[in-house]
Amino acid sequence: MAEGLFYRILIFLFIAKLKVQNVFITSRTLYLMRFVLILFLLTALQLSASAQQALLLNELELRSDNDAYLGVGQDRYYTNGLFINWRHALRSKGDSARLKKRILELSLGQELYNAHTGSVDHYSELDRAITGYLYVGASYQWFGAQQQRSALELQIGTIGPRAGGREAQELIHNIVGFYEPEGWNYQLDNSYEVNLRYDYSRVMTATCKNFDLIFDGQASLGTTHSRINAGVVFRAGRFNRIDESSYFKSRVGRSTTAAPDEFYFYTRPSVIFTAYDATLQGGLFNKHQSSLVTFKPIPLAYEQELGVRYDTRRWSFNYAITIRSKEVKKQEYSHHQYGRLSLGFRF
């Protein structure tokens, strides 16, 4: 019943006319978007109807980050991100009483970074480096019986013109009728990037029905990011254990018993210590990068994420807002914020 209502809402939202900041998408593009989404939804409906009790071993997630989702008319700093993630529940290994679940994830992502505006005429106007970051990633995560999670992720990618940031932003602005971006001639030079990240999460509170508190930390080391991010996740509403919850990307599994639906609000305040950031400083081993377009990061930063998640047996939906303090001292604005939308389907 809940899934049927969810499908109808999705179809209604995307068949309706799309409007972004009072600018209509061209009819040809709109019809194509409608066709692709309706085909995707009809295929998903067919899979749901034909295999209600099948194991949900896989998940495909589409995620989009953009500061335009906040409706405040800004286009700066971390301005856009587009990600495709595929997850697969692996077979149990070893002592199942200690190891609850293992998940493999493959990802493809692109991030775009601007200065305080997407229209820069001279490098003296820069208050942040301009670049794209394009990568492929693979991660392995495992969940313990005591409601703890660990994950290892490897990313291989590139910054600079090879990342396609200029082309992506120009395409997006052309589709929605925004201004023509300027300033990409000052973007960072090409540099291949390799990064390794370790995540650890653990429930800090006793089992509660409507709220919990979870430690959530990440440590990254590599040529893209070398930093530590430590925070706590507070969830309030109807949610599952962390080994069956969408926040921790763990609703796929090898059990025929479906994880209960989820609907909850969450927030994650965190402190970030940055030793190196290639999207600000350029490639770690690039000795020819001009210092006129690079910036040294502020070592300590604060970040706050607030969001809502809704999950059925097969579908997951998430909307979130992230607010972050200054990355570099020269930045014109004291903080930055952007929105996040994601849609996942399990099969």
pLDDT digit string, tens, across residues 130-164: 999 999 999 999 999 889 999 999 999 999 999 99
Q: Is the pLDDT higher at 95 or at 339?
A: 339
Q: pLDDT tens digits, residue range 31-77?
A: 555 555 666 666 666 555 555 567 899 999 999 999 989 988 788 99
User: Amino acid identity of 260?
Assistant: P
44 close to 4: Cβ distance less than 8 angstroms: no
Residue whose entry in the numeric block shows the structure tokens 């200029």 = 166
> How far apart are the C-alpha atoms of 115 and 98, rounded to whole Å?
48
Beta strand pairing call for 131-144 and 211-222: unpaired
303-329: string of b/e by CB count within 10 Å (b at 16+)? bbbebebbbbbbbbbbebbbebbbbbe
Given a cut of 80, is residue 295 above it in pLDDT?
A: yes
Q: How far apart are CA 315 and CA 310, in angstroms?
A: 8
Cα–Cα dist 57/142, whole Å: 15
Share of the chain above pLDDT 70, in %: 83
Q: Cα angle vertex 336, ends 332, 338, to 5°?
A: 145
CA count, 13 A, side-chain hemisphere, 93? 8
State the CB neighbour count (10 A cutoff) for residue 189: 17
Helix (H, G, I), strand (E, B) or coil at 296: coil
Distance CA 328, CA 334 (A): 10
H or E segment and range at residue 190: none
Quick check: 25 pLDDT over 60? no
Long-range contacts of 290-293 (CB under 8 A, 24+ apart): 292/123, 293/123, 293/126, 293/129, 293/130, 293/186, 293/187, 293/188
Nearest in space to 308 (alpha carbons), one of 344, 264, 268, 342: 264
Predicted pLDDT of residue 22: 39
Q: Contact at 8 Å (CB) between 11 and 41?
A: yes
